[in-house]
Amino acid sequence: MGCTKSTVKEDPIVKLNKLRSQVMSTIEINKIKISKLEQDIQNFDTQIKQGENDIKQNQYSYSDLEKKAKVKKLMEYQKDRQRAQANLDKLSAYNETLKSNLSNVESKIEEIRNNMQFREGNEIMNQLGDLDTGDILQENIQNIMRQQQQDMQNLRILENGNNVINANLGIKNEDDYLKSLLGTAGAAPAY
């Protein structure tokens, strides 16, 4: 009897997010290293320039042995500067590659998320199947027609009610009211 390992497949987005975090962390660490190397190079440049100026200004006061010792020190600074510059160049190129990889990882995450949304949408659409909207539309049309009939009936009731009220006022309809206003039997007034 052996112990079986659970082979749970890790979500690709989780894996990619872990990778994304690692790459982002490495980029930030490299930025700090790059900044330190740039500062070191600047310090070497300053020391070299100061040493060169010192030798030029004091060339007659220094012995040959002192001059050689100072030049030897300047050459060490130049070699250290070259090493720092080489490290800076490599690290900068490496960081640019990491930035490209980060962009690729983020694109892949977005691609997977979009793909998952498409799949979910398709699954929902498949679960719904084909909707038979004919019965629903027929019922809707019948409801509209019933409502129109009811509206027409209500309008007739209102008109009949208005006619009764207007009859009590001595006015039967709009034509009769117009005739009573104009004092004519339908003829237009002469001015």
Q: How far is CA 84 from the centre of its chain?
A: 40
User: Assign residue 10 a region: left if phi > 0, alpha if psi is -120 to 50, beta otherwise?
Assistant: beta
Query: 7 lies in a domain?
Result: no
Give 132-172 pLDDT, tens digit per residue.
778 888 898 999 999 999 999 988 888 887 777 766 666 66
Query: 91 lies in a domain?
Result: yes
Q: Highest mean pLDDT: which of 4-8, 123-127, 171-175?
A: 123-127
Query: 50 lies in a domain?
Result: yes
User: Does pLDDT of 80 surpass 60?
Assistant: yes
Element (H, E) at 65: helix 64-128
Query: Is residue 100 domain-shared with residue 178, that is, in the same domain?
Result: no
pLDDT at 120: 92
> Average pLDDT for residues 169-181, to the nearest whole number?
67
| Cα torsion 59, 64, 69, 72: sign | positive
- Read off the pTM: 0.58
Query: Is residue 145 domain-shared with residue 77, that is, in the same domain?
Result: no
Pairwise CA distance, residues 1 & 117, whole Å: 43
Query: Is residue 38 domain-shared with residue 119, that is, in the same domain?
Result: yes
Query: Is residue 66 domain-shared with residue 88, that is, in the same domain?
Result: yes
Query: Is residue 61 domain-shared with residue 25, that is, in the same domain?
Result: yes
Query: Is residue 32 domain-shared with residue 123, that is, in the same domain?
Result: yes
Query: Is residue 99 domain-shared with residue 149, that is, in the same domain?
Result: no
Angle, CA of 37, 17 and 19, to the nearest 5° = 45
Strand, coil or helix: what is 19?
Answer: helix
Name the amino acid, one letter, at 115: N
Query: 4 lies in a domain?
Result: no
User: Does pLDDT of 98 surpass 70?
Assistant: yes
Query: Is residue 105 domain-shared with residue 149, that is, in the same domain?
Result: no
Query: 2 lies in a domain?
Result: no
Query: Is residue 103 domain-shared with residue 169, that is, in the same domain?
Result: no
Round the average pLDDT of the chain to a whole number and report it: 86
Query: Is residue 104 domain-shared with residue 30, that is, in the same domain?
Result: yes
113 backbone dihedrals φ, ψ, rounded to 5° = -60, -45
Query: Is residue 141 domain-shared with residue 73, that is, in the same domain?
Result: no
Query: Is residue 84 domain-shared with residue 142, that is, in the same domain?
Result: no
